[in-house]
Amino acid sequence: MSRFLSRKFAGVEPYVPGEQPRGGSFLKLNTNENPYPPSPRVLNALSRGEAEKLHLYSDPAAAGLVGAIAARFGLAPENVFVGNGSDEVLAFSFLAFGGDAPFLCPALSYGFYPVFARLLGARYEAVPLREDFSLDAEAFVGCGKNVVIANPNAPTGLAVSRQTVRRIARSNPDRVVVIDEAYVDFGGESAVPLVPECDNLLVVQTFSKSRALAGMRIGFALGNPALIADLNTMKFSFNPYNLDRLALLAGQAAIADEEYLADCTRRICATRAKTAAALRALGFAVTDSKANFLFVRPRGISGPALFAALRARGVLVRRWDDPEISDWLRVTIGSEDEMARFVAVTGEILQEAAR
């Protein structure tokens, strides 16, 4: 910290992203990236001719991408906000709506929420999950606070129904309810159909996971036009050209390829089921994940020991030190081959530990 940093930021603890190794050959199952490349339509959209236009600014209204997303979800362009990754959309949400009431979040969830709150001047309160990691929905019903819930949740993978989201949104009519659907395409029930009836609901999604564009940084929010206008006030007061020209084109191409999305997510869900069965056969506890990762607790070895042994063999997964989950690992679903290798390496480690 320099002696110049604003005093109000002295206690900020930044979010720590999963490791992104540069060299070496790692099996990377630690940041929930899609194992498959983006849609071929995306690759075609990123032509040399488009790159040559990079001397020009991108469209600050992002009209092409906003229109394509609106059409995809049966909403109007006024219902759509796009950001530089859903992280930026979430940040603008904390910035815009966190001034008057705290944000209530599940205690075990996306680690960025408390960081955004701290940085952007919003208060943050956490509700513990139940023993089985399920959401204590009643704590959010009629809470009178803003709400942020990841659905499906990370790192647990557990999802709540649209009906539960509706109850939370309808019972807090004077607060904003943000549903972070980063993983919804892998088996969750989306809250998007509630947007027309709940003017306090913001549904946030990303192109990073199911649409295989983590490196392009595209996220969006769907909500009432007044909420979307507020997010645009934040954006135009901060970074009007928040998506670059190539990202806008890639996003439009990706949203148009429904078939590719369905195919990719179907494959990942099939691999998830197979991997879960293999790990259960090895004695693991495995939650009922509706995301592109599994949340698992090994038997016969501690979580930290398995994490270290995997890493020593070039396999990266994610774990946290929070006491309730210190023995659990979050494992991204890769390709069939990658997961077969993961299961084989894990089996070897367990055998060695048993000796």
Ligand X SMILES: *Cc1c(COP(=O)(O)O)cnc(C)c1O
What residues make contact with ligand X under the rule CB under 6 A? 32, 85-87, 110, 150, 154, 180, 182, 206, 208, 214, 219
- The tokens describing 340, both together, are 């077969």
Residue among 182 and 201 whose Cβ is closer to ligand X: 182
To ligand X, the closest distance from the beta carbon of 22 in angstroms equals: 20
Gap between the Cα atoms of 211 and 151, Å rounded:
17
Place of tokens 């159909």: 193
Residue among 102 and 111 whose Cβ is closer to ligand X: 111
Name the phi and psi angles at 70, rounded to 5.
-60, -45
Residue among 186 and 260 whose Cβ is closer to ligand X: 186
**DSSP letter assigned to residue 318:** B
Dihedral, CA of residue 139, residue 140, residue 141 and residue 142, to nearest 10: 100
- Residue (of 85, 35, 108, 55) closest to 275 by Cα position: 35
Whether a cis peptide bond, with omega within 30° of 0, leads into 155 is yes
To ligand X, the closest distance from the beta carbon of 152 in angstroms equals: 8
Residue among 213 and 278 whose Cβ is closer to ligand X: 213
To ligand X, the closest distance from the beta carbon of 189 in angstroms equals: 16
CA 89 from chain center: how many Å? 11
To ligand X, the closest distance from the beta carbon of 293 in angstroms equals: 9
Residue number of the CB closest to ligand X reads 85
To ligand X, the closest distance from the beta carbon of 135 in angstroms equals: 14
Residue among 214 and 345 whose Cβ is closer to ligand X: 214
Residue among 181 and 301 whose Cβ is closer to ligand X: 181
Gap between the Cα atoms of 7 and 29, Å rounded:
38
Residue among 112 and 350 whose Cβ is closer to ligand X: 112
To ligand X, the closest distance from the beta carbon of 41 in angstroms equals: 20
Gap between the Cα atoms of 194 and 191, Å rounded:
6
63-90: string of b/e by CB count within 10 Å (b at 16+)? eebbbbbbeebebebebbbbbbbbbbbb
To ligand X, the closest distance from the beta carbon of 218 in angstroms equals: 7
